[in-house]
Structure 1
């Protein structure tokens, strides 16, 4: 176990919330689990997540060792758009997690990739072989996967240098007045909810999203968004920030639900472009919007007051 010791500098704040803010690797759900399992001691005694801290409480966190994930290859009938000896481009369905994690050890894109081919880069370790970038579970669309370490390094460098092309389509609540625009606003973890991201100046990283209106409806807008950077939940956070949240988004979506025929956010990674790691050729791939997105567009078109 890894031991961390703290002394409370506040009073009346919840134990789980305060501990989450003390270490960048602590998530609130993990802290709550550690508290429940007795790995957190306050003044030498076990406690509860909602314990209200007192000044100078002595807190010890014994972080349990992470159990190694056993990842099994699974035939998930992946939609492989392109493949050669260096890269694979996959059209991920909505609802599929990209890589295994506690609570998601099967049914992920990685499980499917391991069945599809054995030669995946090992830079990210056993849990994320070949994974260069991610899209959220309930976002559909294109991802590039590296089949060897040389390709992995090249693709990561292209992401860092902002030379890849990543274009998404989304349906947002409200009528976007400008035909196109750029959202340049830094993104960091939400101090009020560690499971969410937000636009903030504190502990944030630069984030730039370009958007263009494709079609306006009575109460919604169909937009295309192009990523210049690739922060966690970037498009979802940025569209919420300018007050045009993506419909169906459980974290950042409109407060008023409109019963769109889609599970999760109406967001699709429609275009992906990069330079091939070996040939130097510019590769561009597109994926048509899925059926649930088409039905959501139809729903927006016939939406009545």
Structure 2
């Protein structure tokens, strides 16, 4: 796989500096230099300390990515919301894990299914990079970068809080405000390896929400995450005394067979096609049915 850029400025610049400006990380340079790739300047091999001048064209060559033998293949279906040469975006159904679990004999996670899909499509790059994850019983959008560079570009946006992810949740109880921000630090629950809780020693966490539909004993809310902590939405609404419907880990009533949480939209910038990618995913049938009876 090759990625090329032409240098437009007048002042000379080192190849590695120019590539860095275009999102090429140090890890990608190592892959190109030592693991089967290459770095070219006007079609010829160069070192990253070489200088570029106006009109020069730099090319990053990355080797094909071989799938790991440790990840089993699954041929169960995937629901594709968007795909191009760099990103595969899926709708994850509730009940399917994002990544394989070591204690489960039958490997059926989204990662296993994507490996099967890549192999059926005979893609050159076979590594199943996953850039966002959802809890097993949360539904909605999950993104798979299709190569190292795409993964690095997406991670940089995540770190800069430039990826916009929106959720919908059904909480138990009555929400008295139309809009709010939960700003409460989240830490591990000392009595559980899995659970989280609000605590003064936790990491800064912010969840913004809007009331969409109030029922007799439950409420549909739209949620925007400003941070990405484990179980953040579930923990924050339980902290408000409004646990998610179906979320028995965080004291939610068992009115659904899973927590009523869905990732419904994702927006980020693709440097490869030089435009924003916006993906929407409608509420699944179980949440729609519950809302219609609220």
- State TM-score, norm by structure 2: 0.72
For residues 44-101 of structure 1, give each alpha carbon's deviation from its aligned partner in whole angstroms, at most 9, with x where no partner exists.
xxxxxxxxxxxxxxxxxxxxxxxx9832211121001111111011000000001112
Superposition map of 1:60-209 within 5 A: 70-104=70-104, 106-118=107-119, 129-202=128-201, 204-209=202-207
Distance in 2 (CA, whole Å) between partners of 1:251 and 1:147 is: 34
For residues 211-257 of structure 1, give each alpha carbon's deviation from its aligned partner in whole angstroms, at most 9, with x where no partner exists.
00001011111101111111100100011111111010021133xx3
The 3-state SS of whatever aligns with 1:78 is coil
Distance in 1 (CA, whole Å) between partners of 2:103 and 2:271 is: 34
The answer as to whether partners of 1:249 and 1:266 remain within 8 angstroms in 2 is yes
Superposition map of 1:248-287 within 5 A: 248-254=246-252, 257=253, 259-260=254-255, 262-287=256-281
In the TM superposition, residue 121 of structure 1 has moved relative to its aligned partner by: 7.3
Give the direction of change, closer, same or farther, for the CA distance of 1:225–1:79 in structure 2 (3 Å limit): same
Structure 1 segments, 4+ long, off by >6 Å, are: none
Match of 2:218 in 1: 220
The answer as to whether partners of 1:150 and 1:277 remain within 8 angstroms in 2 is no
The answer as to whether partners of 1:97 and 1:137 remain within 8 angstroms in 2 is yes
Match of 2:286 in 1: 292
Distance in 2 (CA, whole Å) between partners of 1:253 and 1:295 is: 22
Q: CA RMSD in A?
A: 1.9
Corresponding residue pairs, total: 223
For residues 174-205 of structure 1, give each alpha carbon's deviation from its aligned partner in whole angstroms, at most 9, with x where no partner exists.
11111011111111111122220011122x22
- State TM-score, norm by structure 1: 0.69
For residues 127-147 of structure 1, give each alpha carbon's deviation from its aligned partner in whole angstroms, at most 9, with x where no partner exists.
xx3111211000000011110
Match of 2:56 in 1: none
Alignment partner of 1:230 out of 212, 228, 231: 228
In the TM superposition, residue 298 of structure 1 has moved relative to its aligned partner by: 2.7
Distance in 2 (CA, whole Å) between partners of 1:159 and 1:184 is: 19
Q: Which blocks of at least 5 consecutive residues in structure 1 are unaligned? A: 1-67
Distance in 2 (CA, whole Å) between partners of 1:185 and 1:280 is: 36
